[in-house]
Structure 1
Amino acid sequence: MPITYENEIKHSLKSSPHPYLSGPWTPNFTEYTASDMEVIGEIPKDIDGVYVRNTENPVQEPIGHYHPFDADGMIHTMSFRDGKAQYNNRFVRTKGFVAEQIAGEALWTGFVNDYNMSKRPGCGAQGNLKDGSSTDVVVHAGKIVSTFWQCGDGYQLDPYTLEQHGVVAWAPIDGISAHPKVDASTGEMLFFNYSKYPPYQHYGVVDRQGKLVHYTPVPLPGPRMPHDMAFSKNYSIFADLPLFWEQELLKDNIHLPRYHPDLPTRFSLIPRYGTEKDILQFDAKATYVLHWLNAYEEGNEVILEGYFQENPDPAPIPGLPEGPGKLMAHLALNHLQPKLYRWRFNLKTGEVKEGRLDDRDLEFGTFNQQYAGKKSRYVYSVWGAPNMFLFSGIVKHDTETGASWSLPFGEQRFGSEAPFAPRVNAKDEDDGYLVSFITDMKDDRSECVLIDAKDIEAGPVCRIILPHRISSGTHATWADGPTVRAYQE
């Protein structure tokens, strides 16, 4: 396997039995550029673009208790063109990563610890954390933008080479939450952030050239913990979810989330370039939603799909001490019990209709981003391994007919969020591939798989063997090759 670049990163991390520092979550410290990899099957010639995945990959021995959301970001990409593929992986050179490389040790503790244990001031909505830029990833204006779940700077990288381009120039003082959204129809990126001081949340629009063109409050009644947003053609959608830091404890700088099932989920719909006075609000059943899917408009209604948690505050996993058991339960889909769900907001009457689309525990969904903000039909979700933050298979839903198809990854094989990659000259919505990195614990390796989205039950059309077994992680995206290259010409 030709490797044109290999670099070993200095680290102080020790071997550990911690479930998120071992097994499928074992960190990597080597950066590669590799081509002519072993391929099982044949790489199709009708796929052109880049699969981008962010992973949580700690480098330094943690100060205090470790949680995977504390980790450094490592970006992995697989680019496709003319039946060939190239793999790259690089750590995101955040300010925190660079500072700890110089120090040779961790300088910040994680979010489940006493912040006084940190050796330097930090950042984030919660305060005093390291921005690892290890949560989400999108591609906008020809660059990867990686983000941190508690509002960080937003770091740019080249999709093909992973050359680092630093912090986005437009980053506001309160940072950028994970899950900014790119509207393929306009090239705009929509984003939000949140904080512990009024108005507690802001929303912004960045144009197709990377210029901040709109920024406005979307107020909340107090400090909250939103994680995602959605958009339709004319509206951006936010939710005040009834799981948030206990207000009284915040006075002592204690960040303890509690679920309040007596409060509704309150949705705010704001016109894309609207302000606070234009917000439309709707109350719905109490829940917590980690991730939304698509939203679109139909007549007088805005329709939103996502994953409704039936148990947002799960009990500790049996057999574990209460503290670790509680944290582990909050990472496991079988404990949170998220269901594929639809909300319908009537703009004329204010009525909300809502309900399940499936009875299984599913999350981390994707859809054809060419249909973002427009009526779409197909959703691709994953199900989880019991008691762990690991993905064991994919479900495709036809949300019009209710039909579904499933693909298990296999015994001791764990996948990643699988974005949709449209086939070159695609004819319809599901004409393309699902792309995922798979970690195979039996064969001790990782691979990139392409799955025909029209027939997921047939399994991968090809499997590309990576030069190393990669750590698990959170989010992934697909970037259209011609669109990215147009920005680079």
Structure 2
Amino acid sequence: MTISYKNTVKHTLKPSLHPYLNGAWTPNFDELTATDLEVIGTIPSDIDGVYIRNTENPVHEAIGHYHPFDGDGMLHAMVFKDGKVEYRNRFVRTKGFDAEQEAGEAIWAGIANNPKKSKRPGWGAQGYLKDASSTDVVVHAGQVLSTFWQCGDGYRLDPFTLEQHGAERWTPLDGISAHPKVDERSGEMLFFNYSTYPPYQHYGVVDSDNKLVHYTPVPTPGPRLPHDMAFTENYSILVDLPMFWNPTLLEQGKYHAEYHPELPTRFAILPRYGTAGDAIWFEASPTYVLHWMNAYEDGDEIILDGYFQDDPDPAPLPGLPPAAGKMMANIDLCSLKTRLHRWRFNLKTGEVKEQHLDERALEFGTFNQRYAGIKSRYLYSVWNEPGMFLFSGMVKHDLETGDSWELPFGEQRYGSEAPFAPRINAKDEDDGYLVSFITDMKADRSECVLIDAKDIEAGPVCRIILPHRISSGTHATWADGQSIRAYQNP
């Protein structure tokens, strides 16, 4: 292994028994660039692109309670080409990160704290949090875009080198939520944001040249907490979910989310370049949904898949202090009882049909992004370690036949969201690899694994040993190398 770059970021974090500050969630402070990595097996030569995962990685002692979604954004990237690979990781140099580096301490209180404890105003949807840019990551117009779940600036980096390009210049006043969607066929990126003041939600389109070309309000009845969106060839899908801030407490500056099972889940389906007046609203069973999968048009219907929560407001996990038990239950897929689910919306009649597609607790799914917005057959989900936000294995679904296949990661081996990487000259939808980081607590190391998407039960095709054990995190993406180079070298 050759390390060509190393930087240790200034930090004040102390060793902790907090479940999301130790074990597989132990933060990293070293930024590295490494080549000539140890490989178990052989790196395929028919893969060209970059796998990037975002991570909540705090560098300073928290003000009050630490929630895992408060951590600073750190990107980990694997660049594959010609059977070779490079690894690098970098913090996202957000305005908040730079300010706290200069101060040498935390300035902003996290989501589980009184916002009055923050020493400066914040950003985004609530105006009190640090915009950590630590939730999601996509590649659009040849550049990485990292985003924050509570809305923020969005930050651009080079996908091959992770060179920092700063905050996105077209970002609206209300920011960008996590989970903007890239349509690989058109090159467009669709996004939304939300806030605590009217009209509470906006929707926008950025073209293939990274120019904001459409931005419009899609109002909701009050402040809401959407987390994701979906799209088809001609439509975008936004949601009004019955889990949102308590309005009375919000007036007092306190942010406490409550579930309202008496309210329906509402879906706004509007043309890609439509406005609120074009939206068709549908009502469905109450739930909360973190992540939607693919959506597509089928005659008069739109079909949407996602992860329905049977219990969006679970009881605290036993054996822990109430605050910690509640926090961990709210990010434990087993407690939330997340189920793969399908909604069918009839654009002519307004009828909604829905059903569970699987009774296992699954989430954080991926699919071949070349099929985003059109009918797709295969979906890849993960399950978590009960009681912890750690992924213990994956499931491949054939949505046409109903068949499924499982791959456990192994004892004390925890994976990442695993995007699909098409083979060069791929012949069909599942002709490619699933890419994931695995943290092996027994071996005290992390690996990047490639799994043949046609046969996940066979396990990894290769395992690439990373130069350090990395912290667990949330979302990841795959981007085609040839497409990136076409943008960077037109």
TM-score bucket of the superposed structures, by smaller chain: over 0.9
The corresponding residue for 2:49 is 49
Question: 1:107 corresponds to which letter in structure 2?
Answer: I
The corresponding residue for 2:478 is 478
Q: How does 1:219-368 map to 2 (within 5 A)?
A: 219-368=219-368
Q: Distance in 2 between matches of 1:453 and 1:28?
A: 30
Q: Distance in 1 between matches of 2:320 and 2:225?
A: 26
Moved more, 386-395 or 110-119: 110-119
Residues 199-232 of structure 1 show CA distances to partners (whole Å, capped at 9, x for unaligned) of 1000000000100000001110000000000000
Question: 2:62 corresponds to which letter in structure 1?
Answer: P
The corresponding residue for 1:79 is 79
The answer to whether 1:39 aligns with 2:39 is: yes
Residues 431-460 of structure 1 show CA distances to partners (whole Å, capped at 9, x for unaligned) of 000000000000000000000000000000
Q: Tell me the secondary structure at the aligned position of residue 474 of structure 1.
A: coil
The answer to whether 1:139 aligns with 2:139 is: yes
Q: Distance in 2 between matches of 1:95 and 1:383?
A: 34
Shift of residue 116, structure 1, vs aligned partner: 1.5
Contact 2:381/2:396 (8 A) holds in 1: yes
Structure 1 residue runs of 5 or longer lacking an equivalent are none
Q: Distance in 1 between matches of 2:358 and 2:377?
A: 14
**TM-score, structure 1 as length reference:** 1.00
Shift of residue 157, structure 1, vs aligned partner: 0.4
Q: CA RMSD in A?
A: 0.6
Q: Distance in 1 between matches of 2:312 and 2:268?
A: 21
Q: How does 1:133-172 map to 2 (within 5 A)?
A: 133-172=133-172
Q: Tell me the secondary structure at the aligned position of residue 58 of structure 2.
A: coil
The corresponding residue for 1:93 is 93
Q: Distance in 1 between matches of 2:287 and 2:386?
A: 22
Q: Distance in 1 between matches of 2:423 and 2:362?
A: 26
Question: 1:12 corresponds to which letter in structure 2?
Answer: T
Q: Distance in 1 between matches of 2:121 and 2:284?
A: 39
The answer to whether 1:180 aligns with 2:180 is: yes
Shift of residue 127, structure 1, vs aligned partner: 2.4
Q: Distance in 2 between matches of 1:272 and 1:463?
A: 41
The corresponding residue for 2:383 is 383
Question: 2:155 corresponds to which letter in structure 1?
Answer: Y
Q: Tell me the secondary structure at the aligned position of residue 34 of structure 1.
A: strand
Shift of residue 185, structure 1, vs aligned partner: 0.6
Q: Distance in 2 between matches of 1:248 and 1:2?
A: 57
Question: 1:302 corresponds to which letter in structure 2?
Answer: I
**TM-score, structure 2 as length reference:** 0.99
Contact 2:115/2:254 (8 A) holds in 1: no
Q: Distance in 1 between matches of 2:302 and 2:111?
A: 36
Shift of residue 109, structure 1, vs aligned partner: 0.9
The corresponding residue for 1:443 is 443
Q: Tell me the secondary structure at the aligned position of residue 479 of structure 1.
A: strand
Q: Tell me the secondary structure at the aligned position of residue 474 of structure 2.
A: strand
Shift of residue 9, structure 1, vs aligned partner: 0.6
Question: 1:176 corresponds to which letter in structure 2?
Answer: I
Q: How does 1:410-429 map to 2 (within 5 A)?
A: 410-429=410-429
Q: Tell me the secondary structure at the aligned position of residue 470 of structure 1.
A: coil
Q: Tell me the secondary structure at the aligned position of residue 475 of structure 2.
A: strand
Q: Tell me the secondary structure at the aligned position of residue 319 of structure 2.
A: coil
Residues 328-376 of structure 1 show CA distances to partners (whole Å, capped at 9, x for unaligned) of 1001011001100100000111000100110100000000000000000
Q: Number of aligned residue pairs: give it.
A: 489
Residues 221-274 of structure 1 show CA distances to partners (whole Å, capped at 9, x for unaligned) of 000000000000111001110011111111111111111111100100010000
Shift of residue 124, structure 1, vs aligned partner: 2.5
Q: Distance in 1 between matches of 2:253 and 2:37?
A: 50
Q: Distance in 1 between matches of 2:69 and 2:221?
A: 26
Q: Distance in 2 between matches of 1:35 and 1:420?
A: 23
